[in-house]
Amino acid sequence: MSAFRWESLDEFSDLLNRIGRHGFRSWPTSPNELRSELETLRLEPESDVWLVRTDGKICGYALALAENDVDRLVVSLGILDECSGQVGGLLDLLREAAKARGVSLIHVAVRGAPAEPLDQLTHSGFTRVAANLELVLQREDAGGVPDPSLPEAMSVRKMRSTAEALLLTRVQNRVFEGHWGFSKNTPDEVLARLGLPSTGPEQVLFVETEEGDIAGYIWTALSWEHDHTCGKIWMTGVVPEFRSLGLGKALVSAGVKHLLSQGAADVHLEVVEGNAAAVSIYQGMGFKRHGQTDWYEKRV
């Protein structure tokens, strides 16, 4: 087990592609895009990412993202079968990392994990505390997506430029304040995310009132994944005082149509397990369940 070094970027990228979709995010498929992603997160890759090797080849990794304002370490963990026996060592390392960063919780996102690593996780005292469902809409099934229906005097507009990064930051933090696991963003973090090719200002839509107030937003992403253009609804929400007006459904409709207009072959989104009302809306648009991400927690 060793700390990540930038000279291992190509090999690390290859590992992520071999593992496939896992953990709390989809990783870019190219080394250059992966580098941009790692430089955008709240971490120092050479001290917050660890690599597992067998016979000199990378076969696993752990990435630890500290979110001190919500007292947790968010972990992405990926292991190939040939080194699954080293999961215990990675978990020991993560416990030490949490203590060093002054947080008392470790949250590990698990999606499609092999049985052995998952058993080691639960045997180490991690318990399941939350889950997100992943839903996917194929282009050919998108006929049920309605045009956005908004209250009178409201409209959907695109983000004008990165000059609105502070506005987006404020809206996003208001929308998700108090939600499980949400760590407030800073303008610099949002600006960095807007600088990535897949999540630039052209991928952000606002619902705006006649007076110019922002009532909600949807932040989409567009990327090339293996053999097709993939769309994603990355974050969306409605400002508290504008809820119960149907804006959530309107935003998703607008976001889906926006992604399809750019050539997306499918659109992915995640919804909290147990949010039956939202799942019903999405399924009515043609979304189908594709996977599930379970969150496991341990106090250190």
β-strands 266-272, 228-238 pairing: parallel
Alpha-carbon distance of 73 to 40, in angstroms, equals: 17
Q: In the chain, how many H helices and how many E strands?
A: 9, 12
pLDDT value for 113: 57
Q: Where are the domains of the chain?
A: 2-125, 135-292
Q: Would you state the pLDDT for residue 46?
A: 95
Domains 2-125 and 135-292 share a fold: yes
Strand partners, 155: 208
pLDDT of residue 25: 81
Query: Please, what sign has the CA dihedral across residues 67, 106, 99, 52?
Result: negative
CA proximity to 106, closest of 86, 89, 121: 121
How high is the pLDDT of residue 197? 85
Q: Alpha-carbon distance 192 to 199, whole Å?
A: 10
**Do residues 122 and 247 touch, judged by C-beta distance below 8 A?**
no
Cα end-to-end distance, the chain, whole Å:
22
Q: What are phi and psi of 187, to 5 degrees?
A: -55, -35
- pLDDT at res. 21: 81
Task: Give the model's pLDDT for residue 260.
Answer: 97
Per-residue pLDDT of the chain (300 residues; tens, 9 = 90+): 899 999 999 999 999 999 888 888 888 889 998 999 899 888 899 999 999 999 889 999 999 999 999 999 999 988 888 888 888 889 999 999 999 999 999 999 988 655 556 788 888 999 999 999 999 999 999 999 999 999 999 999 999 999 999 999 999 999 999 999 899 999 999 999 999 888 999 999 999 999 999 999 999 999 887 788 999 999 999 999 999 999 999 999 999 999 999 999 999 999 999 889 899 999 999 999 988 899 999 999
Tell me the CATH number for domain 135-292: 3.40.630.30
What gap in Å lies between CA 232 and CA 269, rounded to an integer?
6
The pLDDT of residue 87 is 87
CATH class label, 2-125? alpha beta
Place of tokens 């976001």: 255
Residue carrying structure tokens 């990412």:
49
Contact criterion met (CB below 8 Å) for 10 and 28: no
pLDDT at residue 116, as a whole number: 57
pTM of the model: 0.90
d(CA 118, CA 88): 11
